[in-house]
Chain A
Amino acid sequence: MIFMDVEVKNIHKRFGPVHANNDISVTFKGGNIVGILGENGAGKSTLMKILSGFQPADSGEIWIDGRPVDYHGPRAAIAHGVGMLQQDPLDVPAFTVLENFIYGAPGGMNLNRPQAQRQLSEVSQRFGFDLDPETPINRLSIAQRQQLEIVRLLALGVKLLILDEPTTGISAEQKNVLFEALRNLAKNDGLSVLLVSHKLEDVIALCDEVVVLRAGKLVGTKQLPATTDELVTLMFGEELAPHQPEDIEFGDTVLKLDRVHLASKRLSITDLSLEVRAGEVIGLAGLDGSGQRLMMRACVGLEKCVAGDVFINGQRMTGQAYRSFMQHGVSFGAAGRLEEGLIAGLTLTEHIALVSERGMVIDWARARQHTETQIKLYDVRGHADNMIEQLSGGNQQRVLMALLPENPVVLVLEQPTRGLDVDSARWIWQQLLKRRADGTAIIFSSAELDEIVTYSDRILVFYAGQIYEIRDPDAVSIDELGRLIGGDFQSSDHVERLA
């Protein structure tokens, strides 16, 4: 047993005008599993990064086992027994599993592979993790990469393990394996676990206790068990009304995939046929890299079909470039805002001019006026002359919405609400449902299963290039969907093989 008590005292951290952590004091007892709750921007990630050495606090102290400690950098934090698993695990994609395991561990110049391999397989076997030492990281799933990081941190002697949103993008089965291992560690080894999550069901399923942050402040702690409603009240101050899209009549088929074959380096999709009607919302569920990206890009002409045809409004579009898809009313929003979608270094007006100006010469006065209108309409907190990167993530997403054409035939959106707080996400969906009511068909992917279940008229489940269809999303629970994205199709009678 390795019980270690960790206490933070009066932590403050500011980012410019934002007070991300405002006088936070809390104690984490050894052997406990504690959920850190709060919506996006509540300050939970900041607090965890301070605790694990990734960021220094502006002021405040950390005490371990009753003594104040002062460490800088994640490596020093690990030496004090505090380790953090980031949402996107901090491994090196070009390395193998074993190399990742060795890198950062103490030892001489010699790699001593056999010894490391023994240690790796010992720990992973104990928790039922499946890690082949010679596989390169870029061929692993998110869940496997998490497992490797956990194994690595444990081998380094971590006594307080912080996990940042570990259940995003992993299947129900992988989640069970992970939770089982964490319980095992807490109960048998006395390891403390901090689970940062905004998914209440995960917190309720795993944790002994929750700590809730709101707008940078600690608003309460609570022993579990508790009901979802109680936790929601703690997180938001009031209960949110559930948001349900209304039923509408679908129009004609606007997008048709006919026996499409797609192939990327890592997987292929064979023989996919699909018809999407005007006003329909199709949600794509699946682990990262299961084929959603491939299919979405094929729908907009960014990925060439190996075989088969794509039709927009009955017109054959196979082999056409993205631009001609655009001219036929197809729009695409990629997941990374500043990487794919917006252009850092350009002002809002320049962005609007890019999509709205059609002549050879740009009428800047008109473009500017148009921008001001859009800023009002989409409630963007920013100025027409601001560079896009000066805006917050939520406001950038609003600009992306403003850049979409008025009445697209088909909207294809990769994770449209990723990284947004609840308010912004709801606002985005309000906008999307407005367009849907006007007859726009929407295809979107998401790592949040509840988002998919809530908004989809049909769900496509992706698993290693296979696609299954759920025609009645109301009939499946989030748990069942979680099992489906893990590839467990036998036990469900709501799915049909599509490709």
Chain B
Amino acid sequence: MRKNQSLALQLALGIAPIIISLVITAIIILVVGADPAEVVERVWSGAFRDLTSTARVVNFWLPLTLASIGLTITFTAGLWNIGVEGQIMVGALFATFASREFASLPTAVVIPIEIIFAVVGGMLWALLVGVLKTRLGIHEIFGGVALNALADVGTIFLVSNAWAPATGATAQASERFAPSTLFPALSGDFPVNWVVAIVTVIAAIVVIFSLRGTRWGLHLKATGKNPRSALLLGVPTERTALSAFAACGALAGIAGAHRVLFTFGDLRPLASGGIGFLGLLVVLLVSIRVLWVPLATFVFAAIITGSTRLRISLQLDQSLAGVLQGTLVLVVILFQGVRQRLEQRVTQGDGDEPQQSFSPISAEMTE
């Protein structure tokens, strides 16, 4: 009964944040003296002008989806894996190493090797954050931020030293990879990385099923909601947390491999393109509901890809995409609060989740 009554309200509350964030962004565009309608048109055409630009959207969509799906795992386990940026970069580093070492092998052999290396790299970097948390009591936000920066420093170092182009180090990019080690494109007209596309689909299916139907998924959820109780009910909480980091790091690593071995064809600083942070925004936007991830990541990928040409066409910085996305996520989160308050007024109930204090130094996970 109440459901029917509030259906319109629900719908309004669902659409309102989108409209509000668009309005806010439009105002910001007006502030710098540009025309919002023109910006929308340019972003749209930037994303879907032709098959090539659409392929570019897809090629951004794939790694973003991989990272976001990985982050649903860590979020389910109650972990703030801000270190995902670094995990993408270390995956890229390991893939670069494989590409250079095994360049003589045939493509069909070298690509699986590169993926395995990327998985291992991302996993290791993620496990480092995990161990810092579970064993040494450093909150994963701080461990992650530091390891992100260290991954960037390592990349710049390698790009300008051991892996520098033969023509001379510039700290801009490494030597180009051998073409035989690059991920193959679907076709010349629609150059999409079909290998990573398949990997992404498989990963999405496996993660969706694991979170719903396996004991591991239940363990993740229990650990995320209340690690102390979970431990007493027999959940190996430390192992569960580390496995969440490892799984997320592995997927992030593949995303990193895609960026360097397909998008760029070389290793370069900031090769992740902010995909990790964007993934965190995506998962916050969909409230950790993994089924909604592919849709949200597609919209984000289209906005990002469409904005890259804004500087050339309208002399606008492409950070506008980040402004729109950040505003959207913020307004959505705030509206969830508004909705909860409205619902509470109807039911008089208390829909609060029990809260734990934020201790930046704690080792609750240790078994």
A residues near B (Cβ < 8 Å) are 16, 321-323, 326, 332-334, 338-346, 350-351, 353-355, 357-362, 364, 389, 403
Contacts and interface: CB of A to CB of B under 8 A. Distances in A.
A343 B233 CA distance: 9
Interface of B: 213-219, 221-222, 225-226, 228-236, 348-349, 353-354, 367
A357 B234 contact: no
A267 to B, nearest CB: 21
Contacts of A339: 226, 228-229
A482 to B, nearest CB: 31
Given A16-B348, A360-B215, A403 B225 contact: no
B214 A345 contact: no
Contacts of B214: 360-362
Given A338-B354, A403-B233, A344 B215 contact: no
B222 A340 contact: no
Contacts of A16: 348-349
Nearest to B209: A361
B232 A353 contact: no
Contacts of B229: 338-343
Contact of B225 (A333, A341, A344, A361): A344
Given A345-B353, A354-B234, 9 more contacts: A321-B367, A332-B232, A339-B228, A340-B228, A343-B233, A350-B218, A354-B219, A362-B218, A403-B233
Contacts of B232: 322, 332-334, 340-341
Contacts of B222: 343, 346, 350, 354
A433 to B, nearest CB: 23
Residue from A321, A333, A343, A351 whose CB has the most chain B CB atoms within 10 Å? A343
25 contacts: A16-B348, A322-B232, A322-B367, A334-B232, A338-B229, A339-B228, A340-B228, A340-B229, A341-B229, A341-B233, A342-B229, A343-B226, A343-B230, A344-B225, A344-B354, A345-B354, A346-B225, A354-B219, A354-B222, A354-B233, A355-B234, A357-B218, A361-B215, A362-B215, A389-B354
A163 to B, nearest CB: 28
A364 B221 contact: no
Contacts of B233: 341, 343, 351, 354-355, 403
Contacts, number: 77
Nearest to B230: A343
B48 to A, nearest CB: 40
Contacts of A403: 233
B236 to A, nearest CB: 6
B365 to A, nearest CB: 13
Residue from B216, B218, B367 whose CB has the most chain A CB atoms within 10 Å? B218
A364 B218 CA distance: 11
Contacts of A355: 233-234
Contacts of A364: 213
Contacts of B213: 361-362, 364
B228 A353 contact: no
A235 B348 CA distance: 32
Contacts of B225: 343-346
A361 B225 CA distance: 21
B43 to A, nearest CB: 39
B234 A326 contact: yes
A398 B216 CA distance: 26
A264 to B, nearest CB: 15
A308 B230 CA distance: 28
A364 B214 CA distance: 10
A319 to B, nearest CB: 12
Contacts of A358: 215
The 10 tightest CB contacts between A and B, nearest first, are: A345-B225, A344-B354, A343-B226, A343-B229, A343-B225, A340-B228, A321-B367, A354-B233, A343-B222, A341-B229
B367 A359 contact: no
Contact of B367 (A323, A333, A357, A361): A323
B11 to A, nearest CB: 26
B218 A354 contact: yes
Given A323-B234, A338-B354, A354-B234, A344 B218 contact: no
A252 B228 CA distance: 32
B125 to A, nearest CB: 27
B247 to A, nearest CB: 15
Contacts of A362: 213-215, 217-218
Contacts of B234: 323, 326, 354-355
A346 B221 contact: yes
A455 B233 CA distance: 26
